[in-house]
Amino acid sequence: ALESRDPDLIYLCLLHIHAKRPKDEYSQVLKKYPAAAAQYAIYCKEHNKRMLEELQVSGNYLFIIFEHLSKDPTEHSLYLAMGHLSSAKEAKADLDRKIASLEGAERSLKMAGVDDNALVNIAIQKQILMVQKELEKTHQHLNLIGKPLKTTLEMLIPLDQAAADKIARELKFNEKFYTRMKAVFLASNAKYEELDKMLSKTKRNASLAPDQIIKIINDSGNKPEAEKWLPRCQGRTKVKAHINLKDFVQAATVAHQLGDFDLIAKCHKLAQQAGDTAQANEITSRYAS
């Protein structure tokens, strides 16, 4: 079919392979014969959009396919960028390939004239990869290359919190989310003094509300320790704190003191959803009228 250069024959051959052979074999054929894949892409663009979508996740031969899809320079550059990004994703722990693919995507996006946000995101991804490369010099067993920044920080916090803090700061990781990650680690390891100290030093915009801290500690399996934070809760925050402790009757009591009957109903509903019939019935008996 390739020798004949007949697009219909190429399409029919590949369609037959797609229908009759295993998916891996179909992918291997496309990788082995990129010219066929390109012709196939042209045909699919006009006649079979669903098949075209399958081609667009093919990675290795994506660039060749996209070269034939569009004569418009901007569209062409965007297709190439998509191909590079797909290749970067496929590279997994192959650092050199990831960096090269991201740089290719960066060039293509610049040619397409996209807004700066996309370029900033790629620059951040490259920066994360370089940080991971440095970290693996001392923490090789973690296999960090290619992992999301969140996962990298979660893995690093137990080993080197100072390094994790530095990376989170330099890469502008969400401060509140990072505070929560550290709080979860400290609570799960019963390091409550360190947790209190960390939270007292946390900047206001990154701080956690007391009811959130109660949930983190309670979820770690230490309800008595979580309850120590109750005096720091007021108003609706106290209702949420009791809900996080699964103390639905107490939550309803505080809601009643606030005169918030919708909140009482919510406490009742949450007790039912938790399968706590006793608390649900108690709330009903107290506040049903």
pLDDT computed for residue 115 by the predictor: 67
Q: Minimum mean pLDDT among 6-10, 168-172, 238-242: which range?
A: 6-10
Q: Return the domain boundaries, the chain.
A: 147-194, 209-288
| pTM score above 0.75 | no
The per-residue pLDDT of the chain, averaged, comes to 84
Instruction: Tell me the residue length of the chain.
Output: 289
The tokens describing 25, both together, are 């074999």
Q: What is the pLDDT of residues 255-281, one digit of tens each?
A: 999 999 999 999 999 999 999 999 999
- pLDDT-based confidence at residue 100 (cuts at 50, 70, 90): confident
